[in-house]
Amino acid sequence: MNELLMVDNLKKYFPVNVGSMSRKKIVDLKAVDGVSFQLDEGEILALVGESGSGKSTTAYTIMGLYKVTEGKIFFKGADISMEVTKRPLSLKKEIQIVFQDPGTSLNPQRTIRQILDLPLRVHKIVPKGNINEKVEELLKTVELPADYMFKYPRMIGGGERQMVAIARALATNPSLVILDEPTSALDVSIQAKIIIMLLKLQRDFKLSYLFITHDLSLMRNVATRMAIMYLGKINEIAPAQELFANPLHPYTQMLLSSIPVVTEKERNLKPKQIKSIGEIPSPVNPPSGCGFHPRCPFKLELCLENDPQPVEVTPGHFVRCFLYKN
């Protein structure tokens, strides 16, 4: 399969003030600290992590919303790690994003038609005369009636608003869509509807998704490959089925055993109960060595000092932990 996106040792640091008065100094908050992965065409890669793990920062840096501190991003073989103003328009339209909360990502003062025609005009997708038709077509692809184009976002439901946000992302015929927790603000019955639609669109338009989420059970049903992030680094990356069948990293095991489930069948699928302890440390002052060691039940002497490197345990299954060797 063709490689679409390649992220190589990506770092994104934010300067923050710590201390007060005379002891004030500026230190780096290492939101993303050396992340590497690749995304093939037609793939759904899930980037899973808790809040503060840097998953959204990774996505926004790929989008160009943040400037890269260090490392490279390649899209279809071309380097796009420059500042976003220097990124060619033709590449910008190839990568689109759907944000978490459609209540704030859609301008409340614009009608749905105005929201959807902006990307069409910026990227000159269709001739001026055909914009109305194209907007209608976009609404049709997300199964909304055509007369919604005269409504304002507040007049429609939360699920429908997210559909509009998806239509806006599709307006420029992108090849990569970044989905930043698109359903976490919605109820399960609406989430199901949106996920089914996203999967259908992915097939119909041959899209690739980078799915940012904290919901592991959802990803079990959606993703082809999953990356587990913790404290700005990827701890484990594997095909979805493999990751659930054979979770290797202690953090992945902790995450999986923390998921509340409904049936006995699912309960048996969870790894042997690993008790969740501790909290994610502050990325301003991360622990030495492996970032997970303060919470890890299997930590070794080695982990306190050294940061492990990723090892490929089985083909395609990488884990960043000293417990495993090539």
Partner 1 sequence: MSELLLNIKDLMVGYKVFGGVLRVLNGITIKVNKGERIGIVGETGSGKTTAAKTILRILPRTARIFGGEILFQNKDVLKMPRSELSVLRGQGISMIFQDPTASLNPVFTVGSIISDVIRYSRTLSSSNKSSQIKETAIDAFRLASLPDADRLLANYPFQLSGGMRQRVCIAMALATARDLLIADEPTTNLDVTIQDQVLRLIRELVDKKKTSFILITHSLGVASEMTDRIYVMYAGTIVEQANTQDLFEKPYHPYTHALLSCIPKLSGEGIAPGIPGRMPDYLNPPQGCRFSPRCPRVLPICEKEKPPLIEVEPGHEVACFLFATKQGVPQ
Give the binding site for partner 1 (CB under 8 A): 50-51, 157, 159, 187-193, 195-196, 214-218, 220-222, 240-241, 244, 254-255, 257-263, 265-266, 269-270, 276-277, 279-280
Q: Looking at beta carbons only, is 28 or 215 nearer to partner 1?
A: 215
DSSP annotation of 184 reads T
Q: Cα–Cα distance between 130 and 127 in angstroms, integer?
A: 6
CB of 184 to partner 1, least distance (A): 10
Min dist. Cβ of residue 11 to partner 1 (A): 24
Nearer residue to partner 1 within complex by CB, 78 or 277: 277
> Token pair of 213, please?
């989420």
- Give the residue with the Cβ less far from partner 1, 44 or 254: 254
CB of 162 vs partner 1, minimal distance in Å: 13
Is residue 4 within 8 A of residue 40, CB to CB? The reply is: yes
Nearer to partner 1 among residue 202 and residue 217 (C-beta): 217
Nearer to partner 1, 196 or 284 (CB): 196
CB of 199 to partner 1, least distance (A): 9
- Locate tokens 């399969």: which residue? 1
Number of helices (H) and strands (E) in the chain: give both, helices first.
12, 12
Instruction: Tell me the closest approach of the beta carbon of residue 36 to partner 1, in angstroms.
Output: 24
Task: Find residue 70's DSSP bridge partners.
Answer: 11
Cα–Cα distance, 112 to 89 (Å, whole number): 24
Report in angstroms how near the CB of residue 266 gets to partner 1 at its nearest.
Answer: 4
Coil, helix or strand for 166? helix
CA quadruple 303, 32, 74, 4: dihedral sign? positive
Shortest distance (Å) from residue 57 CB to partner 1: 16
CB 157 to partner 1: min, Å: 5
Nearer Cβ to partner 1, position 78 or 269? 269
Enumerate long-range contacts of 260-263, CB under 8 Å, 24 or more apart.
Answer: 261/217
* Amino acid present at 318: F
- Candidates 285, 280, 287; CA nearest to 303 is 287
Q: Which is nearer to partner 1, 130 or 273 (CB)?
A: 273
Rounded CA-CA distance 257/176 in Å is: 32
Longest dimension (CA), the chain: 68
The nearer residue to partner 1, 132 or 221, going by C-beta atoms, is 221
Q: Phi and psi dihedrals of 62, rounded to 5?
A: -65, -40
Location of structure tokens 């930043």: 180
